[in-house]
Amino acid sequence: MSWQKSSYCGEGESCVHIATTAETIHLTESSDPTAAILTATPAAFDALLAALKETARV
């Protein structure tokens, strides 16, 4: 799996990394990328992003 670091991450910070396949999206945290990995379908990931954006507006 090829991980990409968030473009919002500065050098040396703990960051979110993402990897994708045709069926799934994987997220992990950079301090230990083999530990907690969230796996979601594209539809579920879209719903998560929408919920986070809505929460940020409140």
pLDDT at 12: 67
Q: How far is CA 4 from CA 12, 19, 32, 51, in A?
A: 15, 6, 14, 23
pLDDT at 44: 95
pLDDT at 16: 85
Instruction: Report the percent of the chain where pLDDT is more than 70.
Output: 86
Structure tokens at 27: 């997220």
pTM: 0.69
Range of the domain at 18: 4-57
Sign of CA dihedral 39, 35, 6, 50: positive
Q: Which residues of the chain have pLDDT under 50?
A: none
pLDDT at 50: 94
CB 35 within 8 A of CB 47: no
Number of domains in the chain: 1
pLDDT at 41: 95
